[in-house]
Chains A and B, each alone.
Chain A
Amino acid sequence: MIDKIVSSPAAALADVADGATVMIGGFGTAGLPNELTDALIAQGAKDLTIVNNNAGNGDTGLAALIAAGRVRKIICSFPRQADSWHFDRAYRAGTLELELVPQGNLAERIRAAGAGIGGFFTPTGYGTDLAKGKETRMIDGRGYVLESPIHADFALIKAERGDRWGNLVYRMTARNFGPIMAMAAKVTVASVHEVVELGSLDPEAVVTPGLFVQRVVKVARSKTAAGGFKNAA
């Protein structure tokens, strides 16, 4: 019997090695797999390369992982936010390497990894500092930049509901990077608020087919906190 349900976030992340590349879903606070990130902090792996759209909010989750000195490099599009003080400090101290990627290139590089694409030409960033040193090509009179896929050892994502095959559905804009990160990692761990019987998810509406997911962990439902903007508490 195929059963991807794992008993706890700690059990799901026991084999994350030092130096691993870990994708973490979420945009702002929506879709951040906080329970999984907390388990990663407790697990102890270091020298991590983290792929996330942002670079942590406040003092929890990815911000706490950075604060604990466990991140060597971060690949993201928008690190600087009103509440990204742990990233800001580590970046200014020179202890954290930043690879800044336009958000759509980030998404497509992740998708490309999952789709077996070896690289792609994108118009985004052409002629800017973020394309410096990269191969370019004129195609039909327009400039394009060669971008490479981003693979990961682990993807930690948050979904709403899942089954023992790993099929997932999400909740509103908490979907964001989840489906593509699930494709790009060797091991995708999805937290869900509800584990349902096989066959009870509408097959026409499953967003992530279970073959992209290796482990599913049920976590208690909590209200997504505000974050990432100036008025946030």
Chain B
Amino acid sequence: MNKWTKDQMAARVAKDIAEGAVVNLGIGMPTLVANHLPADREVMMHSENGVIGMGPAPREGEEDYDLINAGKQPVTLLPGGVFFHHADSFAMMRGGHLDVCVLGAFQVSATGDLANWHTGAADAIPAVGGAMDLATGAKRTFVMMEHTTKSGEPKIVERCSYPLTGIACVSRIYTDLAVLDITPQGVQVVEMAPGVSFEALQSVTAAQLMG
């Protein structure tokens, strides 16, 4: 079974981001998606901390930490880019003005419930940030994650066991094995990595798949 690399996953997500889209990329693996958008496709990158029109990381030595992304990393501003305060930034999410957000996840349920903010472990310090606002606010919420945990546990499940971030908010999942849609009928396989069979995919997925 050939797993897709993180960059291949990011490239696959990028294929689904249309010209003109307003996009928010979550912290971690989703940030890779920006590297795979073709140069001739114009999208507006939104960051929760009050910027639209975010460009790539600055050159070394040119970092300005008054211009950062949600992960607190230095970024740049493209021509046309603008700044706004936090209430406006989250109105953009909640008000349905973002076309796509791409988030990581611990678990996604067959009905599109998302768990990505807290493991629920007793000693873990909870931190939610903008995850709940993004997941419920964007027109389409994409999840990008490994198909299973490091120990091989399925992350696509009938019901999430981790605390929820949002209910029925995920529209599409991109893993290292497949692309899957959450539909009213169930989890629909859209595409599989080369050499991955439906049976093999089902065996590492704890929700019923539709081929």
Q: Is A170 an interface residue (CB 8 A)?
A: yes
A101 CA to B86 CA, complexed, in Å? 14
Q: Is the CB of B85 within 8 A of A105?
A: no
Q: Mark A175-209, 1 if CB is under 8 A from B, else 0.
A: 11111100000000000000000000000000100
Q: Is A103 an interface residue (CB 8 A)?
A: yes
Q: Interface majority SS on B: helix, strand, loop or mixed?
A: loop
Q: Are A80 and B127 also in contact (CB < 8 A) when A103-B48, A173-B66, A227-B72 are?
A: yes
Size band of the A side of the interface?
Answer: 35 or more
A126 CA to B164 CA, complexed, in Å? 10
CB distance from A178 to the nearest CB of B (A): 7
Q: Is B141 an interface residue (CB 8 A)?
A: no
Q: Is the CB of A78 within 8 A of B85?
A: no
Q: Is B56 an interface residue (CB 8 A)?
A: no
CB distance from A161 to the nearest CB of B (A): 13
Q: Are A88 and B72 also in contact (CB < 8 A) when A126-B136, A143-B167 are?
A: no
CB distance from A76 to the nearest CB of B (A): 9
Q: Is the CB of B87 within 8 A of A111?
A: yes
Interface centre among A30, A102, A170, A229 (most CB of B within 10 A): A102
Q: Mark A117-128, 1 if CB is under 8 A from B, else 0.
A: 000001111111
Q: Mark B45-77, 1 if CB is under 8 A from A, else 0.
A: 001111100000000000111111001111001
Query: Given B67, B71, B89, B127, which contacts A100 in the complex, CB threshold below 8 Å?
Result: B127
Q: Is the CB of B67 within 8 A of A130?
A: no
User: Which residue of the partner chain A has the closest CB to B74?
Assistant: A226
Which residues of chain A have C-beta atoms less than 8 A from B167's C-beta? 126-128, 143
User: Which residue of the partner chain B has the closest CB to A170?
Assistant: B83
Q: Is the CB of B164 within 8 A of A80?
A: no
Q: Is B133 an interface residue (CB 8 A)?
A: yes
Q: Is the CB of A123 within 8 A of B125?
A: no
Q: Is the CB of A175 within 8 A of B50?
A: yes
A2 CA to B34 CA, complexed, in Å? 49
A120 CA to B65 CA, complexed, in Å? 34
Q: Is the CB of B68 within 8 A of A173?
A: yes
Q: Is B107 an interface residue (CB 8 A)?
A: no
Q: Is A138 an interface residue (CB 8 A)?
A: no
Q: Is A107 an interface residue (CB 8 A)?
A: yes
Query: Given A29, A123, A225, which contacts B94 in the complex, CB threshold below 8 Å?
Result: A123
Q: Is the CB of A130 within 8 A of B132?
A: yes
Q: Is the CB of B64 within 8 A of A224?
A: yes
Query: Given B67, B86, B94, B127, which contacts A78 in the complex, CB threshold below 8 Å?
Result: B127
CB distance from B8 to the nearest CB of A (A): 25
Q: Is A154 an interface residue (CB 8 A)?
A: no
Q: Is B102 an interface residue (CB 8 A)?
A: no
Q: Is the CB of B164 within 8 A of A129?
A: yes
Query: Given B63, B72, B73, B94, which contacts A124 in the complex, CB threshold below 8 Å?
Result: B94
CB distance from A58 to the nearest CB of B (A): 12
Q: Is the CB of B86 within 8 A of A180?
A: yes
Query: Given A122, A176, A207, which contacts B49 in the complex, CB threshold below 8 Å?
Result: A176
Q: Is A61 an interface residue (CB 8 A)?
A: no
Q: Is A155 an interface residue (CB 8 A)?
A: no
Q: Is the CB of B65 within 8 A of A102?
A: no
Q: Is the CB of A91 within 8 A of B125?
A: yes
**Given A100-B127, A104-B48, 14 further pairs, Cβ under 8 A:** A27-B86, A30-B67, A77-B127, A87-B125, A100-B126, A102-B128, A102-B131, A104-B89, A104-B130, A108-B87, A108-B91, A173-B47, A175-B50, A229-B72
A–B Cβ pairs within 8 angstroms, 21 of them: A27-B68, A28-B72, A53-B86, A80-B126, A92-B123, A100-B126, A102-B129, A102-B133, A103-B128, A103-B129, A104-B48, A107-B86, A107-B89, A110-B86, A124-B137, A173-B47, A173-B67, A176-B85, A177-B86, A180-B87, A225-B65
State the 7 A-B residue pairs at the shortest beta-carbon distance, nearest first: A104-B90, A104-B133, A28-B72, A228-B72, A107-B86, A224-B65, A111-B87
